Chains A and B, each alone.
Chain A
Amino acid sequence: MSETARDRILARLQGAPRQETPRPESPVPAAAAPDRDARVARLKSLMEAVRAEVHVLPAAEWIPRLKEVLGARAIKTLLYAPDTDLGFALAEAWQQDAAGLPELVAYADPVESFKERLFGVDAAVTAAAGAVADTGALILRPTAAEPRLMSLVPPVHIAVLKADTVFPSLGDAMREGRWAEGMPSNMLLISGPSKTADIELTLAFGVHGPKELIVLVLE
């Protein structure tokens, strides 16, 4: 039944008069690509303008800074992805000295058996696969080891980004990353904490997604 609907719809479309259409002009000529520091600076200012908290810091200092961020918010449980580079580093740091630090919660099981825990954690830390400078957004590429819901369900999301992966534009990120050759099951741009303006156009944060987004940009 659905099959014949398909055939009828396609037949109608195929029977319509063909039309020569203008080829699109080449994409908007990009201004000279800003250097890395300029890209990071733009990303930071745009994301801060939509209330993300952005720290630019030397790569070696990310764990101490993460501890400060967690401490300042009295976070009790921290969701992490154990089978990732970030996850290894975290587990190791916590092993050395976990005094006063939140409990690490591993996202190691299918969501069906992990849902209750997932909806109860205070914060999550994930990697960002890159970022887009011109509009100010992180690129997240969830994987089997680092599932989709980590950046959505917990009220605080901390993303760790390498400064070298900040692209001038989304188009650049797509071309350089060869997205068209193989898309992951889910990919995201995230520009700030969840927000809404549905009541009298008044901004309110944390309506369904994270209330806070903290970005650690590693130089």
Chain B
Amino acid sequence: MAAENFEKNVDRALADAQLRKNFAFAMGNFILKRKAVFSDAEETERLRALCNAIKQRALSRLPELLEQLEAACTRNGMRVHWAETPAVANRIVLQIIESHAAGRVVKGKSMVSEEMHLNAFLATHGIEAVETDLGEFIIQLDGETPSHIIVPAIHKNKAQIAKIFQEKIPGAPYTEDVAELTAIARRTLRRKFYEAGVGLSGVNFAVAETGTLCLVENEGNGRMCTTVPPVHIAVMGLEKVVEKLDDLPPLLRLLTGSATGQLVTTYVNLITSPRRAGERDGPTEVHLVILDNGRSRIYQDPELRQTLQCVRCGTCLNHCPVYTRIGGHAYGFVYPGPIGKILTPQVEGLQKAGELAFASSLCGACEEVCPVKIPITSLLRRLRDESYSGEPQGIVPGRGCRQNVTERLAWKGWAFLNTHPRLNRAVTALLGMAGEYLPPAGPLERWMRYRTEPEFAGKSLHRRVKEEGIADE
């Protein structure tokens, strides 16, 4: 069912010339910008090794660090909440909002809140969640979801955005001037910042040592959401914790360089406590919601655990030949591209999302640029293996869901042939003569939908070696 959707999505995306043009342009641009900021290959490799070690060190002590973070944040005056599922996290957020009788929430970009489908949930309770990152604002106006982790509206061009603004924002004129479009968004959202009772944000890194939340951004909407309203709610996946403040400089360097090709973002926001006595602004309440949603399960497996090193920079999307051609929506889940292909099947299960692990040529471009060196292709292979595995042990839901009689028989047959030389000779000879007349039916038809028909050599390699010998080196 999900697989069918994915194939249809891909067909639709590939046929959309405008979409492909938008993505090809943007991804090419991102690749160049990243290259420019990481011009010293040796230093970049050193930094990647360092950041990989920082995240692995943090993961190796994850339960202790989370407790330390909770203690430090609590000491600083924040309130810490734990949620095993998005549904619970949503209820926690709702309770906080309702306890302040706030009817509107201003939101900074947060992938975890997308994972929670928070906006839709709040809407059913009569609460308006206003996305304030420009890209998120645009797609929210159009009733869409992000197509990229960093630039959520990248699938749209300015003519499309001009039309959305004109239709959806009262009094907005039609303009394709990017500065004017930006100014319209500024005017519209300023009022919302001013009035909102609650601000919501994600978290890029949470420092256990000091109980500090680190958020990076360029627009200033994140600062608005975390500083203007009287209440700030931060939501984070439990893998975002790092051990100490000292870990931040290299992580920040690689995160921003990988994400946008910048040396540093316009704002790095370090939040350690709500407004203290005597201070004149800042939220009087700060809540931190720590979400599990399958992460503690992924954590059980030492190989799959590496998925949790991800810092959500999005550079694997930018460098992925598949993502660049089909865009983010085709994947059908919150996290697109290579990181989505390894994360989503583990969270949602192989039955529902396992198809994603197969949507890769295993070219490894993602792995070469990943700032924390997640072995993405190995994990893709692992998930493919899991899909066909006959062993009952395992932590990935839906393990073995792709096992089927045809394939099992095919492999059994193949093994049988290869252990019976005479039969093997007869069959290869037969295929050599008649292979090209194989009817494109059944599994072969499916296989050939995206690939050229295999050509059978007239003589098998075995036979040629026997007849011609091997030329000595």
Contact = CB atoms under 8 A, between A and B. Distances in A.
Interface of A: 2-3, 5-6, 8-10, 12-25, 27-28, 46, 50, 107-112, 114-115, 119, 132, 134-137, 143-144, 147-149, 152-153, 169-171, 174-175, 179-180, 183-202, 204-210
Interface string B348-385: 00000000000000000000000000000000000000
Contact of A196 (B25, B218, B230, B300): B218
Interface in B157-186: 157-158, 161, 178-179, 181-183, 185-186
Chain B interface SS verdict (over half): helix
B62 to A, nearest CB: 5
B274 interface: yes
A21 B57 contact: yes
Contacts of A210: 220
Chain A interface SS verdict (over half): loop
Interface of B: 22, 25-26, 29-30, 43, 46-47, 49-50, 53-54, 56-57, 59-60, 62-63, 66-67, 70, 81-84, 88, 92, 132-135, 138, 151-154, 157-158, 161, 178-179, 181-183, 185-186, 189-190, 193-194, 209-210, 212, 218-221, 223-224, 227-228, 230, 238, 244-246, 248-250, 252-253, 260, 263-276, 278-282, 290, 292, 296-297, 299-300, 302, 305
A25 B249 CA distance: 14
Contact of B82 (A6, A18, A189): A6
Contact of B50 (A25, A134, A152): A25
Contacts of A187: 270, 272
Contacts of A112: 230
Nearest to A50: B266
Contact of B186 (A2, A23, A206): A206
A171 B247 CA distance: 9
B63 A10 contact: yes
Given A137-B264, A199-B153, A185 B299 contact: no
A174 B245 CA distance: 8
Contacts of A197: 151, 218, 260
B27 to A, nearest CB: 10
Contacts of B260: 197
Contacts of B181: 199, 204
Contacts of A188: 223, 267-270
12 contacts: A9-B238, A21-B59, A23-B53, A24-B54, A28-B250, A107-B280, A136-B264, A171-B249, A174-B245, A179-B210, A185-B282, A191-B265
